[in-house]
Structure 1
Amino acid sequence: MTPALELLDVTKTYAGNPETTALRELTLRVDPGELVAVVGPSGSGKSTLLQIAGTLERPTTGAVHIAGADTRRLSDASLAGFRAQHLGFVFQQFFLLPHRDVLANIAHALLYRPMTVRSRRAAAAAACERVGLGHRRHHLPGQLSGGECQRVAIARALVGSPTLILADEPTGNLDSVTGGQILALLRELNSAGTTLVVITHDHSVAADAGRQVELRDGVLRRDTGRPERGSGSGVNRVAPSRSTR
């Protein structure tokens, strides 16, 4: 089986005095259909992992494979199109276009696809229905609740049937009841075959995932879905960096 995502000995170092190593020799494989929660305290490297896995930043060393493709071989221009084809993103801030309705916000994710306007809107309408917002398709973001805005963001992420959806604290701006509804939606999408990696500070969120990956000091310390390296525990025993993002 070709992994949806594979990070191979990824290190990310930021220039400075002193320099900062945010990820250190991290190897991680996510197979199609998995729901993986990445946990860890602030400064553990979670945000950097999302940036690297989402091809928004390139690693200092190591390789990132998406759907079997080595992203090191892609130019920045080619990478933008590749990202639009294979990756969907959900952020806690929603990042919706305030003056465009729900349907237009979802269809916006398909601009890099060779599709007609009519086809994009049809795909957006189907995604809108899938997240339970068909009746709100012509509303503006300012007319929606926080939970509805996050549903729009999820629909935008999944509209193109990407290889992988990366969600960064998707319940972070929501109350517990609404957050629970969003988690139920993510589980439902995963049950239907969507591959998800969720970055979270909340261990209760992680407990809902089939697999938990824990980062500390930029190092993968625990992975409930993989056998241990060398001794059988899934822990990369690499000395931590001095500081991380």
Structure 2
Amino acid sequence: MVSPKILFLSTLSGIATVTSAESGCRCGDSAYLAIPRVNLSTPEQLKPCATYKLLDARGSGEPQGVSLMFQNTIRRILGNNTGAVSQAVVYPAGFDQNVTSGVKFVTDIIKYGLQDCPKQKYFLFGYSQGATVVQRALNGLDDASMAAVSSVVMVGNPYRTPGRLSNYDSQGHHDNRTAYGLFAVRSLQSNDSILTFNDGLDRSGKVADICLENDIVCSFDPNCKCQLASDHLSYGLMKPVQDQIFDHVISRL
């Protein structure tokens, strides 16, 4: 039986068409994602009402905890704001892309959190499959819950679509590329609707959907023959990206 991981990674090359053009992508190793994670706020810190709750959803293959793509920035945000707490979204993050429990986790945290802490604001982070979790959760929030979401940051979003105001490149500039994300391409090829968030949220300034130049998960490139491009693994290592995320979140506090 073929494992979900192999099926997922093979999709990157399976969708590609044969072409003679060269790509600027460099191949990465998904084993990097298996580095053990930490939780940045203790269970005791999560019990009281906080001014801000940072919810992050990790990507495929990352162990439970804060994603490597957000760990440094979330730690920095917590260090600059004593009213903030961090909580990692609990879900499998397996290569079968089953996000059901993660979506429920996010929607429940916000919905029931508002009952106990009506003034609490929420900041959502999603990397790769975690971006899918975040978008599906956003689509399931009621009006009160949506109003409590102050910021959304996604990196390596496989459903990224061009032409959105919330699209940014690695330097914090609006991204005018016309490429679709990997799963958005798959949806187009099968005549399915593309998972996304509504135009009102896109115009709100709350969302930053960041995609590195050679990340074939969020900007599919049929010329790249890598199963996984190194750019998809690099968000947590690039200071301009981390500064961009930090500045976006701080501006929404």
Give the TM-score of the pair, scaled to structure 2.
0.31
Compare relative contact order (CA 8 Å, sep 6+) and give the higher one, 1 or 2: 1
**Between Structure 1 and Structure 2, which shows a larger proportion of helix residues?**
2
